[in-house]
Amino acid sequence: MSTNKHQGPPAGEEIILLKMGEMVLKGLNRRGFEERMMGNARRRLQPYGQFRIYSRQSITYVEPKTADCDMDGAFQAMSRLFGVVGLSRAKACQKDAGAIVETAKTYLNQELSAAKTFKVESKRSDKSFPLSSIQLSQYVGGELDDAFPNLTADMHHPEVTVHVEVRDYAAYVHADPIPGAGGLPVGMGGRAVSLLSGGIDSPVASWMMAKRGVALEMVHFFSYPYTSPEAKEKVLTLAKLLTPWCGRLTVHVVPFTEIQETLRRSCPEELFTLLMRRFMMRISQEVAERIGAKGLITGESLGQVASQTMEAMAVTGAATTLPVFRPLVGMDKEEIVRLSRRIGTFDTSILPYEDCCTVFTPRHPKTRPSLEEIQAAEAALDIPGLMQQAVEGIERIVMEA
């Protein structure tokens, strides 16, 4: 039973319904999934007012507790919540067949005016309601059929389905859900460190792993004065843009100048980028260990540049014992750009500030390095000393969602 007697009716006239995602199909712990998703929803909704959030039969209900909640803001926030496959706004009305018809006519006027076919689907959790679900659907369907001459009923492939739900305190009317963000609730998939540059790729890679339920912390390597304060601001902006999806993000800004200058001074130019990347991996692993993260994430895509060949990835991956996730590895640049636009990071990513990788780029980078030659080039370096200095200089910046 979905009675909720200890709580009052929702304030305001609309509520939000969230349909949960794939844990329904998978063997994942359903309760854990639900609770994680509701906890994430609760945090994401904080800026938009006070809400009551609870789940019944794979639907999560988001109900305003006060009449002044920002429902547009709340709905947009929920459209970016991983774990939700579909969402809709529903309008409350009296538990009366006539009131339900009137609400459907006005609340769904746009959808119903534009469609040719429709059907009505009813559910009642209040079994004392005088009509059965089928009777209610037939009644509402008949009335809407009369009210909208453009509509005919189609039980199998309707363009619009009018959903009616008779619950404890009110009846609710809503249209078909719109697609949600999908994926798994952030936190279900453990924690990882994402290497965030200012480019197009790494924000998309971060987003893809967050979508699989991974809680992220970011590491950014900063090469002042070779890279400008604006370049760092850009990276922080990118992290901020990811927070509606990922929740609050900590960015660990690592001073990288000393390491880069040392490598340039003492190592073969053609190996510079790879040696630098290996330091990135080592330092990221150090950060991961401190925060209990179990993997690293990069925005590498096979063959995109010289440092992203299979041999190069083997060499960079060998610098860490953690798994390195490269969710973009099989994607074309166009696909990455499309995703980047969709998630809202593209316009910031293309701002023309230099990245630490673009300073001291070798003229002829080695595309088929061997681990032996890399290790030989590193033999003369004080790796622990260089790392310690970088790690001690880390600045942590928290971007609130």
From the list Mg ion, ligand ATP, none, pick the one residue 14 interacts with, judged by a Cβ distance below 5 to 8 Å according to partner type. Answer: none
Task: CB nearer to ligand ATP: give 164 or 271.
Answer: 271
Angstrom distance (rounded) from CA 99 to CA 136:
12
Task: CB nearer to ligand ATP: give 103 or 227.
Answer: 227
Task: CB nearer to ligand ATP: give 143 or 300.
Answer: 300
- Residue 264 CB, shortest distance to ligand ATP, in Å, is 16
Q: Is the peptide bond before 225 cis (omega within 30 degrees of 0)?
A: yes
Six token digits for residue 206 = 């971060």
Is residue 197 at the binding interface for Mg ion, with CB under 5 A as the rule? yes
Q: Count the site residues for Mg ion by CB under 5 A.
A: 3
Six token digits for residue 169 = 């305190």
- Residue 340 CB, shortest distance to ligand ATP, in Å, is 9
From the list Mg ion, ligand ATP, none, pick the one residue 298 interacts with, judged by a Cβ distance below 5 to 8 Å according to partner type. Answer: ligand ATP
Classify burial at 363, counting beta carbons within 10 Å of its beta carbon; exposed 0-12, middle 13-18, buried 19 or more: exposed
Task: CB nearer to Mg ion: give 122 or 197.
Answer: 197
Q: In this chain, which of 129, 355, 369, 401 binds Mg ion, going by CB under 5 A?
A: 355
Distances 190 to 44, 84, 155, 292 between C-alpha atoms, Å: 19, 18, 43, 9
Task: CB nearer to Mg ion: give 14 or 355.
Answer: 355
Angstrom distance (rounded) from CA 43 to CA 185:
13
Task: CB nearer to ligand ATP: give 144 or 219.
Answer: 219
CA atoms within 13 A on the CB side of 294: 7
Choose the binding region for Mg ion from 221-229, 257-265, 303-311, 351-359 (rule: CB under 5 A). Answer: 351-359
From the list ligand ATP, Mg ion, none, pick the one residue 260 interacts with, judged by a Cβ distance below 5 to 8 Å according to partner type. Answer: none
Single-letter amino acid code for the residue at 243: T
Is residue 227 at the binding interface for Mg ion, with CB under 5 A as the rule? no
Q: By CB under 6 A, name the binding residues for ligand ATP.
A: 195-197, 199-202, 219-221, 280, 298-300, 304-305, 307, 355-357
Choose the binding region for Mg ion from 197-205, 233-241, 324-332, 340-348 (rule: CB under 5 A). Answer: 197-205
Task: CB nearer to ligand ATP: give 129 or 325.
Answer: 325
Is residue 199 at the binding interface for Mg ion, with CB under 5 A as the rule? yes
Task: CB nearer to ligand ATP: give 354 or 378.
Answer: 354
Q: Could you give the string, one character per residue 99-138, with x where binding to Mg ion holds by CB under 5 A and - elsewhere?
A: ----------------------------------------
From the list Mg ion, ligand ATP, none, pick the one residue 299 interacts with, judged by a Cβ distance below 5 to 8 Å according to partner type. Answer: ligand ATP
From the list Mg ion, ligand ATP, none, pick the one residue 221 interacts with, judged by a Cβ distance below 5 to 8 Å according to partner type. Answer: ligand ATP
Angstrom distance (rounded) from CA 256 to CA 354:
14
Is residue 158 at the binding interface for Mg ion, with CB under 5 A as the rule? no
**Residue whose beta carbon is closest to ligand ATP:** 199
Angstrom distance (rounded) from CA 216 to CA 196:
11
Chain residues that interact with Mg ion, rule: CB under 5 A: 197, 199, 355
